């Protein structure tokens, strides 16, 4: 069985949805189709939750009305029969109507969780109804029936596997359609897998059913060697290892959700990235195979905060690091990069929600300095010691840029460099010119 995930742009119009149906149809065997919301929808839903939280009911209602209007041409073009069109409009009305009811009530956080997932409910119901209208053998499987989080807010793999196995026993249709992004938390409430989470839904399903392959269909022909939103000359990479793809996803390559490689890697399920608009392009295949090219790609993760703790007295003292890490653990804040010297330790976090409390609790251990608006530039490849000279090339490229932290040797796949975000563009372009010859 294959898992086929289609992102927002891939289901962004009636024409695209029809094209997705053709791609699904052309794939042999049983398939589990995971859909994102129509592109732009989740952004609008997030805006609506912001207005709702600020008690701006009028603004929220205006956004909602515009969103509803944007579905009109899509529904109109997607369905050929009058009956199909009526069903299509009913779907949009039903899910956006849920939001309308919620925003007229006093704000409560759980309502926002319900609002942001309506986009995936709309896209999957429209797609399912379209396939039905076309006479296809298809079943709609609600993600809320199987995609569960555990008490730590992480996907609960044993529960997900058990539920999907049960569903697969019951559903004999060749095409199963489900929502990406949506899940239930430990209390049974509607929740989500964070922005871009449909990729994660796809690999979690792929791992649960031990899929032959997870296909991530998107708007670009695979993982590129650098961020195409910043650098002009980028190229797709035909093969990556799970480790390399995982590092790129975690360190900012938006094409994949930061955690989505983990379930595929654990269960050795190949992940293939394909371009919906150019299905014949090779794309990127991610497997456990290591491919000995020194530098494969560069990614950048913004919104990083660097924290330095300086203490000539304590840093070398037995147990000092443990005490520092315990502060971060207490506030459930994960650390990305670490560098140490005789008198100081610097580390980075991407979630500053508890920053002021963390800084207060670190103060007894030394002088604490905080730098915000930093970017981690991550150079990924098979960077084992045999590949001599990579470091020199990297530093040559970054000659004109102030470097805040450097981390090498943590894994064989990654060199991470922290720079002020204002240098990000320059650093990415310069590294691209120096490390790739195209």
Query: What track of x and - describes contact with ligand ADP for positions 205 through 244 (by CB under 6 A)?
Result: -------------xxx--xx--xxx---------------
Which of 12, 88, 155, 180 is close enough to bind ligand ASP by CB under 6 A? 180
User: According to the binding rule CB under 5 A, does residue 222 interact with Mg ion?
Assistant: no
What's the DSSP call for residue 213?
E
Q: Which residue has the tokens 């299509």?
A: 88
Angle at which helices 109-116 and 118-133 pack, to 10 degrees?
30
Alpha-carbon span 264 to 266, nearest angstrom: 6
Question: Taking CB under 5 A as the criterion, which residues in 181-210 touch Mg ion?
Answer: 196
Please tell me the distance from the alpha carbon of residue 35 to that of residue 181, in angstroms, as a whole number: 9
Copy the structure tokens of residue 211: 């899929």
In 3D space, the residue among 157, 249, 250 whose CA is nearest the CA of residue 205 turns out to be 157
Q: How many CB atoms lie within 10 A of CB 431?
A: 24
Give the interface size with ligand ADP as a residue count (CB under 6 A). 17
Of 45 and 397, CB closest to ligand ASP: 45
Phi, psi (deg, nearest 5) at residue 155: -55, 135
Helix (H, G, I), strand (E, B) or coil at 229: coil
Residue 151 burial (CB count, 10 A): 9
Overall size of the chain counted in residues: 438
The Cα angle at residue 410 between residues 406 and 416, in degrees rounded to 5: 30
CB of 199 to Mg ion, least distance (A): 6
- The torsion angles phi and psi of 405, rounded to 5 degrees, stand at -150, 155
User: Measured from the CB of residue 215, what is the shortest distance to Mg ion in angstroms?
Assistant: 14
Integer Cα distance of 409 and 383 in angstroms: 9
For residue 316, what are the contacts with CB-CB under 8 A and spacing of at least 6? 342
Alpha-helix runs per DSSP H in 269-354? 320-330
What's the CA gap between 55 and 104, in Å, rounded? Answer: 9
Q: Is 197 in the site for ligand ASP (CB under 6 A)?
A: yes
From the list ligand ADP, ligand ASP, Mg ion, none, which binds 42 (C-beta under 5 to 8 Å, kind-based)? ligand ASP
Q: Is 118 in the site for ligand ASP (CB under 6 A)?
A: no
Q: Which of 56, 211, 23 is nearest to 131 (CA)?
A: 23
What's the closest the beta carbon of residue 238 comes to ligand ADP, in angstroms?
13
1-9, 74-82, 119-127, 166-174 -> range binding Mg ion (CB under 5 A):
1-9
Residue nearest to ligand ADP (CB): 7
Q: CB nearer to Mg ion: give 276 or 374.
A: 276
Nearest approach in angstroms of CB 61 to ligand ADP is 27
What string of DSSP letters covers 137-206? Answer: -EEE--GGGT-BB-TTSSB-HHHHHHHHHHHHHH---SEEEEESSEEE-TTS-EEE--TTTHHHHHHHHH
The nearest distance, CB 8 to ligand ASP, in angstroms, is 5
Nearer to ligand ASP, 276 or 339 (CB): 276
Task: Look at residue 197 and give the partner it binds from Mg ion, ligand ASP, ligand ADP, none, a contact being a CB closer than 5 to 8 Å depending on partner kind.
Answer: ligand ASP
51 binds, among ligand ADP, ligand ASP, Mg ion, none (CB under 5 to 8 A by kind): none
Which of residues 12, 155, 196, 263 is near ligand ASP by CB under 6 A? Answer: 196
For ligand ADP, which residue of 4, 167, 255, 398 counts as binding (CB under 6 A)? 255
Q: Which of 88, 119, 155, 196 binds ligand ADP (CB under 6 A)?
A: 196
Query: Which stretch, 194-202, 277-285, 350-358, 393-401, contacts ligand ASP (CB under 6 A)?
Result: 194-202
Show the binding pattern over residues 24-63: x = contacts ligand ASP (CB under 6 A), - = does not.
------------xx----x---------------------
Interface ranges with ligand ASP (CB under 6 A): 7-8, 36-37, 42, 119, 180-181, 195-198
Interface ranges with ligand ADP (CB under 6 A): 7-10, 36, 196, 218-220, 223-224, 227-229, 253-255
Interface ranges with Mg ion (CB under 5 A): 7, 196
């Amino acid at each position: 069985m294959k898992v086929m995930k289609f992102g927002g742009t891939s289901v962004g119009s009636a024409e695209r949805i029809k094209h997705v149906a053709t791609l699904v149809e052309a794939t042999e065997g049983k398939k589990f189709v995971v859909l994102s919301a129509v592109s732009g929808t989740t952004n609008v839903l997030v805006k609506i939750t912001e207005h709702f939280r600020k008690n701006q009911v009028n603004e929220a209602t205006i956004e909602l009305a515009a969103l509803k209007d944007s579905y009109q041409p899509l529904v109109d073009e997607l369905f050929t029969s009058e009956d199909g069109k009526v069903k299509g409009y009913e779907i949009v009305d039903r899910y956006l109507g849920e939001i309308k009811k919620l925003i007229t009530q006093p704000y409560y956080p759980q309502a926002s969780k319900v609002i942001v997932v309506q986009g995936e409910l709309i896209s999957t119901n429209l797609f399912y109804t379209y396939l039905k209208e076309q006479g296809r053998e298809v079943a709609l499987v609600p993600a809320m029936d199987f995609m569960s989080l555990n008490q730590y807010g992480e996907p609960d793999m044993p529960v997900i596997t058990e539920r999907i196995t049960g569903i697969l026993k019951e559903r004999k249709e060749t095409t199963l359609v489900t929502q990406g992004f949506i899940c239930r938390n430990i209390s049974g409430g509607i929740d989500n897998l964070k922005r871009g989470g449909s990729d994660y839904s796809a690999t979690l399903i792929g791992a649960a059913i031990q899929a032959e392959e997870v296909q991530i269909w998107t708007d670009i022909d695979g993982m590129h060697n650098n961020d195409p939103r910043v650098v002009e000359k980028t190229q797709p990479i035909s093969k990556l290892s799970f480790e390399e793809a995982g590092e790129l996803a975690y360190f900012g390559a938006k094409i994949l959700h930061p955690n989505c490689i983990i379930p595929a890697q654990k269960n050795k399920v190949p992940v293939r990235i394909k371009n919906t608009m150019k299905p014949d392009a090779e794309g990127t295949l991610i497997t456990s195979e290591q491919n000995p090219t020194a530098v494969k790609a560069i990614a950048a993760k913004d919104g990083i905060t660097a924290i330095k703790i300086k203490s000539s007295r304590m840093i070398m003292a037995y147990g000092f690091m443990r005490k520092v890490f315990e502060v971060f653990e207490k506030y459930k804040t994960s650390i990305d990069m670490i560098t140490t010297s005789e008198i100081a330790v610097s580390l980075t976090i991407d979630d500053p929600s508890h920053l002021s409390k963390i800084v207060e609790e670190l103060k007894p251990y030394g002088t604490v300095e905080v730098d915000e608006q930093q970017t981690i530039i991550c150079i990924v490849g098979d960077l084992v010691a045999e590949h001599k000279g990579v470091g020199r090339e990297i530093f040559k490229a970054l000659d004109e840029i102030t470097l805040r932290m450097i981390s090498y040797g943590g894994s064989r796949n990654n060199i991470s460099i922290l720079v002020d975000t204002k240098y990000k563009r320059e650093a990415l372009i310069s590294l691209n010119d120096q490390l790739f010859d195209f």
